[in-house]
Structure 1
Amino acid sequence: MITTALRNALRGRGTETALLCHTGAGARAHLDGLPLTDSDAILDLDARVLGEPVKLQGVWERDLGPEAGLVAVVAATTTDLHRSLTAAAGLPRAVQVVVAILDTTGHQEPPLPASPGMGQWRDLQEARVRRVGRRGWLCELFFPNGVETPQVLDAIWSGTRGRRRGPAVAPLAALSGPEAALWRPGDTGAHGVEPAGPVPLRRVTPVGDLALRVGDDTPPGWTDAAVPVLDRRTTSTDAWERIAAPGGGASVRESADPVAEVAPIDELTVNPIGFTKHGDAHWGDLTAADGRAVIRQGKKDLVVVPPDGTITDVDLGRLRHLRGVRVDWSGHGGPTAAVRAVASLAAGGVPLVGGSVPAWAAGLGAPLIDLLLGTTEEDLADPLRREEYSVRLRRVALRTHGTRSRWRTLGARAGVPVPPAPTVSVILCTRRPEMVGFALAQIARQRGVDIEVVLTLHGFPATLPEVAAAIAGFEATGLPLVVREADADRIFGSVLNDAVARTSGDLVSKWDDDDWYGPDHLADLVLARTYSGAELLGVGQDFVYLQEVDLTLWREGRSESSSRFIAGGTILTDRAVLEETGGFRPVPRSIDTQLLIAVMRGGGRIYRGHGLGYVLRRTGGGHTWSEDMAFFLRNRIQQWFGWHPSALLEGEPEPFGRPVTEYTGGLR
């Protein structure tokens, strides 16, 4: 179908120039045998050197720049398409744009493009989106007058994620050299520059705040005094064959910060979405075969790792059934490529074991290396231990090697200010004075996020001795706290909206007074916000403590996926989303469910992260969400007598104002 569509497009463009592009493994084959003219061209976006112009014959020179009759992009996966958005900078405008995605993981939305919003597509003549095979897609757009090609590619890719793009990558970048797109995947605003500079101006302002040059050789002197520059080497610079070659001159370069020398991971496509709780008994091996790095199960190659170490979303999908992957440190093209491959697998939540980690893999970073050194195959035989390890891996890898983290590091190194991380306002509304100290202790131990708390005492005063003691204990931590009182007859939904009105954070998190939360609960949700494309996030009731019968359940249920339901006490969302949905409904019960319905009705996405850092407590009554005990006993994977949370909960903090045993009923 792809070849047929391209043939038809070439016939329909008349005498106008066509540019056919490809990205990712196997994409080039779909361009073979097409009826091209002398003015047509085929471009490998993966090999494109940013800063060098795309030279085409016979294109129309319009007021807004060169214009081709057809620009087509064949991408192997959505990861490849996203990376190509950066390499697409400088492509000509086009009357017709064709985009083919050969394979997807299945958890993405259809690539339905949305118009940019400034009238650029008002004269769109026709748009077609069709499936290709089981999981591929073909998109064709026709315009009477040419449009910006990178903008069309971006709109198609963004259709796979929903409306929300996630936090921006800062600072703005100017890029030069081969593999520069690896450092800034998906950035249609990145500009190519010549190796010596300068960075172009848009009116009187440089188009980038930081320039990054990627190459194999010593770069020329930098000529732009206004924009700082950093230099990095390509992944092929330290390939083993170059290091070993007589007189090759290449070496494993030592650095004070080896992590910052490695091209980052595209967390918008390489992430734990699609992780499965139950891997089978099979293992994969990241090793060498026939001169290339592969991930092999028995005699079957599940993934072929390209020379630059890129792992795609489709690659991760092919590995989800495995219990884990063993890393053979001798089976890679070179140190940098090996680090990128291993870090990508970890970011995807693939359980890894590797024994002794060689010194040349220091670019993984000490925290990730420590995890690899401390885990064996036997540790992963238990499904709960396997998922706990997966969560630890993905946390470290995404925070260390994600594109957003890497560019904040680069900006700091170059002295370029970056926007602050989002702040989180926690709203806690309780009718139970005896639970205030317990709940505040759960919040106080949150780490990795900048938080404030808005505490609403629903029907009782702050002067009660146990409440005053709890508040004083929390204030001693130095965390911001706003305390307000609400009359007992106020409707719960209205009380929550009043609390939201008193927050000042970028994000709002709802907290329950009697549940348990691990110290990374909020940080994990904020991290998931960067890659999920969701308007609202939370976790499921994976762990439930049934207090009446003193029983802990680990329940079946998908995590790291879009979902219609999450635990209400784990909601995290943007303040703007609450405004768009009307906030919490002024009703006494099912407040959380009503908010989820409002988000979905508005076209938003709800994302369920892992639930290992949260335990839902169920007592005999007093809950705004009513389900009997049988509901929680269904679909359980394991159960234990007593309080038995995941290790990621890291125990239980002592409540402020009272001993812990007065709150847990002697659980310890």
Structure 2
Amino acid sequence: MITTVLRGALRSRGDEPAVLGHTGAGSRAPLARLRYRPEDRIVDLDTHPMGTPVSEGEDPEAGLVAVVAATPTDLHRTLTTAVHLPRAAHVLVALLAAPGHQEPPLPSAPGLGQWRDLHEMRVRRVDRNGWVCELFFPRATEADQVLDTVLQGTRGRRRGPAVTPVAALHGTEGALWRPGDTGAQGIEVSGPVPLRRVTPRADLALRVGADPERAWTDPNVAALDAEPTAADSWTGLLGSDAPTRARARVRARGQSADEALVHAVAPIDELTVNPTGFTKAEQGALGDLTVHGNRAVVREGSKVLVTVAADGTVTDVDLTRLRHLRGVRVDWSGHTGPTAAVRAVASLAAGGVPLLSGPVPAWAAGLGGRLIALLTDTDEEGLRSRLRREEHSVRLRRAALELHGTRPRWRALARRAGVPLPPEPTVSVVLCTRRPEMVGFALAQIARQRGVDAEVVLTLHGFGADSPGVASALAEFDATGIPLTVYEADADRLFGAVLNDAVARAGGSLIAKWDDDDWYGPDHLADLLLARCYSGAELVGTGQDFVFLQEVDLTVWRSRESETATRFIAGGTILVDRVVLEETGGFRPLPRAIDTQLLLAVTRGGGRVHRTHGLGYVLRRTGAGHTWSEDMSYFLHNYAQQWSGWRPSALLEGAPAPLGAPVATDTTGETP
């Protein structure tokens, strides 16, 4: 079908040449049976070097620019290389396959009037999981901009946090280090970085696979060098007939899992390779990451499910093909080289695939010590438990995304080069309570949050800071060094209005809503920040998976679907950008159902809500006093497991003692 569409596009493009690019495994095939003119060009966008235009001339144009991508991951990577594509009046984007959780590729206009004369746009599904999007303009337009908007259509309106610093790239694997960046500047090996008037177009240059004899010549922009993934292939080290000796040679280097080794590996594209789509598959088969012929594959028995790219790239479609597996065993002999192996294993971990491994060889130290330890942390039997399997998956994805994601990798490169960076966003935790006896309990939950820059806005609704137990809790929290603002609201002020008052007093760019009587694990906020980055959603939170029913002393695990777009999450876990709150009108001035109203406003406004895992949060239900009114039977339907007493996930890591004066047991319920 895609070949038929391409054939029609070539016939209708007029007298001008065509440029047809392909990216990802199998993407060359639809271009093979077409008729071309001598001036037409077929470009492998995976190997095209940054800094080298596809067409000649100062402002090249083509009658047709077509890009065939195997998966959205491949298309996203190619956006960086696409800055070298010529302008065209007809731009065609074809996706051979896309994961089922993604939206159709419906592009929207860039917003500066560039598309006001758009003549026609066609979007159609092809084959089983593929898409073709065509745009026709009366005059040539920027092809990379069209590709960018097509891909963005699969993710929604929000792009997520930008990757900084602004980059200049050289080498055939430049896009591997900076996927999806149409602002990246291609450069010659020695520089300089081009100017935009008097300003360099980048703050940091990365030369991938550059000849060390070619010195960097730009005194205004720092430059770093990186090796391509093939630089340490077994074939390159000692020849194709000596893989064992090659591995021994790498081990002899005495490598350790330090920061330098981790950051020498090309990062993971977390916008496409992430746990979205994770499934409960504890009854599934085990797969194996091993070797088949000369390529690394993931195999289920004798069936090859995924063939890993030579550079170790795992795509979003690959992850979809593995979701039914209980886990994947890592065979360390089945890779083209150390760097490719590290990238493949880290990508699977970032995607939430539960991994099993024996001792990790020294040559894979680039994974990082934290991820290496987790790979050997469970066994096949451990993955037969739905809860333990998901806990293992969460630990793996945390480590992989925090160590190998594109954003942390480039921040590390900037620190190494001495390039200043903007600070990470501040999270303002908004806590509103009517119960003075719960202040110390709630503040203790916030005090143990790690991996985030947080502040707290505490609203005392109907009582003062001098209430019994409150002053001592505030004093103890103040000793943690976390900024705290205390606001006393009148008792008759509506709950929604009080929350808006608290947000107005917050200084962070992100707002996290917090409930006074629920339990939160120490990575709760950090997990929400991760989900915000890889999901691109306007609002993120968790489900009410773990519920402690205090009246009957029972913990219920409901095991709902996670890592998915949804309409509802637990109100006490909302994390939202401040600007999104402004766009939706803030919290409605109502006494209850405030969270539901905010979720509805976000979705009505075209935004998305993403539900990440719920293992680091326990919802407490007592007899009364909740703004969300549901009887106990609601939480006893369709549970996966239940236990007597207080029994959270291991990811909660227990519960801290309340700050300040002791809290009565009839208020807090059981604690470990």
> Could you state the TM-score of these two structures normalised by the residue count of structure 1?
0.97
Cα displacement (A) at 1:247: 13
Moved over 2 A (4+): 216-219, 245-256, 277-281, 658-668
Matching of residue 101 in structure 1 with residue 95 in structure 2: yes
Per-residue CA deviation, residues 104-125 of structure 1 (Å, 9 max, x unaligned), is 1111111100111000111000
CA distance in 2, matches of 1:439, 1:55: 61
Matching of residue 391 in structure 1 with residue 394 in structure 2: yes
AA aligned opposite 1:441? A
1:574 to 574, 577, 583: 577
Cα displacement (A) at 1:468: 1.0
Aligned-pair identity (%): 69
Once structures 1 and 2 are overlaid, which stretch shifts more, 46-55 or 299-308? 46-55
AA aligned opposite 1:537? V
| 1:281 paired residue number | 284
User: Contact 2:646–2:670 at 8 Å: present in 1 too?
Assistant: no
| 2:162 paired residue number | 168
CA distance in 1, matches of 2:377, 2:496: 47
Cα displacement (A) at 1:190: 0.5
Once structures 1 and 2 are overlaid, which stretch shifts more, 88-97 or 279-288? 279-288
| 2:198 paired residue number | 204
| 1:527 paired residue number | 530
User: Contact 1:215–1:232 at 8 Å: present in 2 too?
Assistant: yes
AA aligned opposite 1:48? H
CA distance in 1, matches of 2:226, 2:488: 56
Q: Does the residue aligned with 1:500 lie in a helix, a strand or coil? A: helix
AA aligned opposite 1:272? P
CA distance in 2, matches of 1:187, 1:101: 19
Superposition pairs for residues 16-165 of structure 1, below 5 Å? 16-55=16-55, 65-165=59-159
Superposition pairs for residues 452-463 of structure 1, below 5 Å? 452-463=455-466
Matching of residue 665 in structure 1 with residue 659 in structure 2: no
CA distance in 1, matches of 2:533, 2:436: 36
Matching of residue 335 in structure 1 with residue 338 in structure 2: yes
CA distance in 1, matches of 2:270, 2:671: 40
CA distance in 2, matches of 1:666, 1:301: 49
Give unmatched runs, 5+ long, in structure 1: none
CA distance in 2, matches of 1:622, 1:55: 68
User: Contact 2:545–2:558 at 8 Å: present in 1 too?
Assistant: yes
Superposition pairs for residues 555-566 of structure 1, below 5 Å? 555-566=558-569
User: Given the superposition, is the C-alpha separation of residues 121 and 529 from structure 1 closer, same or farther in structure 2, using an over 3 Å criterion?
Assistant: same
Cα displacement (A) at 1:661: 6.5
2:356 to 353, 357, 365: 353
Give unmatched runs, 5+ long, in structure 2: none
Cα displacement (A) at 1:219: 4.9
| 2:490 paired residue number | 487
User: Given the superposition, is the C-alpha separation of residues 138 and 247 from structure 1 closer, same or farther in structure 2, using an over 3 Å criterion?
Assistant: closer
> Could you state the TM-score of these two structures normalised by the residue count of structure 2?
0.97
User: Contact 2:282–2:326 at 8 Å: present in 1 too?
Assistant: yes
CA distance in 2, matches of 1:280, 1:660: 43
AA aligned opposite 1:385? R
Cα displacement (A) at 1:186: 0.3
User: Contact 1:164–1:535 at 8 Å: present in 2 too?
Assistant: yes
Per-residue CA deviation, residues 117-155 of structure 1 (Å, 9 max, x unaligned), is 000111000001101122211000000001111100000
Q: Does the residue aligned with 2:619 lie in a helix, a strand or coil? A: strand
Per-residue CA deviation, residues 529-554 of structure 1 (Å, 9 max, x unaligned), is 11101001110000000111111011
| 1:313 paired residue number | 316
Cα displacement (A) at 1:660: 6.0
Q: Does the residue aligned with 1:296 lie in a helix, a strand or coil? A: strand
CA distance in 2, matches of 1:587, 1:219: 68
Cα displacement (A) at 1:281: 3.5
Cα displacement (A) at 1:246: 9.7
CA distance in 2, matches of 1:279, 1:145: 55
AA aligned opposite 1:115? A
Q: Does the residue aligned with 2:552 lie in a helix, a strand or coil? A: coil
User: Contact 2:106–2:123 at 8 Å: present in 1 too?
Assistant: yes
Q: Does the residue aligned with 1:636 lie in a helix, a strand or coil? A: coil
User: Contact 2:83–2:182 at 8 Å: present in 1 too?
Assistant: yes
| 2:226 paired residue number | 232
Superposition pairs for residues 463-612 of structure 1, below 5 Å? 463-612=466-615
Matching of residue 272 in structure 1 with residue 275 in structure 2: yes
- Tell me the matched-pair count: 662
User: Contact 1:195–1:219 at 8 Å: present in 2 too?
Assistant: no
User: Contact 1:216–1:234 at 8 Å: present in 2 too?
Assistant: no
Per-residue CA deviation, residues 174-224 of structure 1 (Å, 9 max, x unaligned), is 000111110000000001100011111111111111110111743511111
User: Contact 2:55–2:86 at 8 Å: present in 1 too?
Assistant: no
User: Contact 1:279–1:320 at 8 Å: present in 2 too?
Assistant: no
| 1:636 paired residue number | 639
User: Contact 1:216–1:237 at 8 Å: present in 2 too?
Assistant: no
| 2:215 paired residue number | 221
Cα displacement (A) at 1:477: 1.1
CA distance in 1, matches of 2:476, 2:570: 28
Per-residue CA deviation, residues 370-410 of structure 1 (Å, 9 max, x unaligned), is 11122222222211011001000000100000000000000
Cα displacement (A) at 1:476: 1.4
Q: Does the residue aligned with 2:83 lie in a helix, a strand or coil? A: coil
Q: Does the residue aligned with 2:131 lie in a helix, a strand or coil? A: strand
RMSD of aligned Cα (Å): 1.6
Cα displacement (A) at 1:65: 1.4
Cα displacement (A) at 1:664: 3.0
